[in-house]
């Protein structure tokens, strides 16, 4: 076992998708300013591996320590690999920081932090949509602080973990950090950008894109259908993985709109995302209230934060704690009826005719509400005490 004398922070990220997780990447970077070493314990996903240039950050994939080739989607097998990793790098020591990401790994991480007398932080990327165990509710009392995107999502998280008997006197430090990215300088890339891949030239048509997942939870079908009735715009879908045009849902989208719907055939690494966001005119970020995790999307929408960072006016649907921010900053248009093409026509014309103002407001919204370094400052000060 190696002796580790450095002050360290450990992020237990059971879901593992670091390469498409702005909060994880940003948090590791700001933690590295206060800690000698930051370890992220992740695993392989369909999105590929991420590489940090920052030498103080070690992203370790449990797959490389999975000697028995067990299924790492099971928590117990994930932690078997974690303990093999600790045998290599040294176990955490008192005054080190432990950050547990979401509920699946919380039981083991909390017990581990209690055993080693470590400060435990709960980082919520996803709000549990099912009830959690009573044991997890008890262990939640040992959490020293919570990182979550906003007050609405905090209330929803505490509703899941709340047992009146336990929580009457429960007090915890909470820090609101949006799901956003630290701005990185553009890197040279041989890949074409989002519109170049289609040979689209900038024209009188407005280039709109909904970037990210493609499914009913983000109204992909309804959006493709309504754009089929628009003559002044182009709609591009770009996912985090290669879009399979033989997949049934994708075929359904192609059938409903063969007029102005384009499906990206590219993927971009995290540090290449400017190639997706920079060339478009308007960003679309729709969410269906399928559960509290989606319906209370608030400042948890990664695509929205990227649109704003790249100064793109946005179109969103009406959701409490989400669309009101767009109205407050006047950085886009809120759609009431997603299937009403006249409303979309009006929204596009409104943005086109006042584009510079909407663009400036989008960036102002980003700086005030989504800038990661600014929003994480209070948490970094708290753990530095």
Question: Per-residue confidence of the chain (385 residues) as pLDDT tens digits?
Answer: 344 468 999 999 999 999 999 999 999 999 999 999 999 999 999 999 999 999 999 999 999 999 888 899 999 999 999 999 999 999 999 889 999 999 999 999 999 999 989 999 999 999 998 889 999 999 998 999 999 999 999 999 998 987 655 555 556 799 999 999 887 767 778 899 999 999 887 777 999 999 999 999 999 999 999 999 999 999 999 999 999 999 999 999 999 999 999 999 999 999 999 999 999 999 999 999 999 999 999 999 999 999 999 999 999 999 999 999 999 999 999 999 999 999 999 999 999 999 999 999 999 999 999 999 999 999 999 998 8
pLDDT at 68: 82
Residue 381, both tokens: 């000060």
Name the burial class of residue 107, with classes exposed (0-12), middle (13-18) and buried (19+) by CB atoms within 10 angstroms of its CB. middle
Which residues make beta-bridge pairs with 235? 208, 261
Q: Are strands 97-101 and 8-12 parallel, antiparallel or unpaired?
A: parallel
State the Cα–Cα distance between residues 97 and 35, nearest whole angstrom: 9
Q: Other CB atoms closer than 10 Å to residue 232's CB: what's the count?
A: 13
pLDDT at 100: 98
State the Cα–Cα distance between residues 49 and 60, nearest whole angstrom: 10
For 106-114, the CB contacts below 8 A with 24+ separation are 106/132, 106/136, 106/139, 106/140, 107/75, 107/133, 107/135, 107/136, 107/139, 108/75, 108/79, 109/12, 110/136, 110/139, 110/140, 110/142, 110/143, 111/139, 113/142, 114/139, 114/142
User: Going by C-beta distance under 8 Å and a sequence separation of 6 or more, which residues neighbour residue 102?
Assistant: 14, 15, 123, 124, 125, 126, 128
Per-position b or e across 174-206, b if 16+ CB within 10 A of its CB: ebbbbbbbeeeeeeeeeeebbbebeeeeeeebb
pLDDT at 166: 55
pLDDT at 200: 84
Q: Are strands 314-317 and 233-238 parallel, antiparallel or unpaired?
A: unpaired
Helices (H) and strands (E) in the chain, counts: 16, 13
Name the burial class of residue 47, with classes exposed (0-12), middle (13-18) and buried (19+) by CB atoms within 10 angstroms of its CB. middle
Residue recorded with tokens 């089929």: 228
pLDDT at 83: 95
Counted residue by residue, the chain has a size of 385
Q: Indicate the SS3 state at residue 16.
A: coil
Q: Which secondary structure element, helix H or strand E, spans residue 10, and what is its range?
A: strand 8-12
State the Cα–Cα distance between residues 186 and 274, nearest whole angstrom: 7
Do residues 383 and 376 touch, judged by C-beta distance below 8 A? no
- Please state the pTM of the whole predicted model: 0.94
State the Cα–Cα distance between residues 216 and 246, nearest whole angstrom: 17
pLDDT at 335: 98
pLDDT at 3: 43
Residue 292, both tokens: 């509290």
pLDDT at 185: 66
Residue 288, both tokens: 């269906």
Name the burial class of residue 242, with classes exposed (0-12), middle (13-18) and buried (19+) by CB atoms within 10 angstroms of its CB. exposed
State the Cα–Cα distance between residues 103 and 12, nearest whole angstrom: 11
Which residues make beta-bridge pairs with 122? 100, 146
User: Going by C-beta distance under 8 Å and a sequence separation of 6 or more, which residues neighbour residue 73?
Assistant: none
Do residues 324 and 332 touch, judged by C-beta distance below 8 A? no
């Amino acid at each position: 076992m190696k002796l580790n004398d450095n002050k360290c922070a450990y992020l237990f990220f059971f879901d593992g998708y670091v390469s498409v997780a702005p909060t994880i990447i940003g948090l590791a970077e700001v933690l590295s300013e206060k800690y000698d070493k930051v370890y992220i314990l992740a695993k392989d996903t369909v999105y590929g591996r991420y590489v940090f240039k920052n030498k103080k950050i070690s992203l370790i994939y449990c797959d490389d320590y999975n000697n028995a080739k067990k299924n790492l989607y099971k928590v117990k097998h994930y932690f078997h690999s974690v303990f093999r990793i600790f045998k290599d790098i040294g176990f955490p020591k008192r005054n080190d920081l432990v950050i547990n990401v979401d509920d699946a790994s919380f039981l083991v991480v909390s017990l581990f932090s209690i055993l080693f007398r470590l400060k435990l932080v709960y980082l919520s990327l996803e709000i549990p949509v099912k009830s959690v165990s009573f044991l997890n509710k008890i262990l939640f009392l040992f959490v020293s602080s919570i990182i979550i995107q906003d007050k609405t999502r905090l209330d929803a998280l505490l509703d899941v973990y709340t047992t009146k008997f336990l929580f009457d006197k429960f007090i915890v430090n909470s820090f609101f950090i949006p799901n956003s990215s630290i701005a990185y300088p553009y890197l040279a890339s041989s890949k074409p950008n989002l519109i170049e891949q289609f040979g689209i030239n900038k024209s009188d048509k407005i280039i709109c894109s909904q970037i990210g997942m493609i499914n009913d939870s983000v109204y992909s079908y309804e959006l493709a259908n309504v754009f089929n009735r628009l003559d002044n715009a182009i709609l591009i879908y770009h996912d985090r993985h290669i879009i399979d045009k033989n997949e049934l849902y994708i075929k359904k989208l192609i059938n409903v709109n063969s007029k102005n719907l384009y499906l990206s055939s590219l993927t971009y690494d995290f540090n290449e995302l400017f190639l997706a966001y920079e060339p478009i005119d308007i960003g679309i970020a729709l969410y269906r209230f399928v559960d509290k995790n989606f319906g209370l999307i608030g400042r948890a929408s990664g695509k929205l934060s990227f649109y704003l960072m790249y100064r793109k006016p946005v179109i969103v649907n009406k959701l409490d704690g989400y669309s009101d921010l767009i109205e407050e900053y006047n950085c886009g248009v809120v759609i009431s009826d997603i299937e009403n093409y006249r409303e979309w026509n009006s929204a596009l014309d409104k943005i086109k005719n006042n584009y510079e103002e909407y663009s400036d407001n989008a960036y102002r919204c980003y700086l005030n509400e989504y800038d990661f370094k600014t929003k994480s400052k209070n948490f970094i000060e708290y753990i530095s005490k």
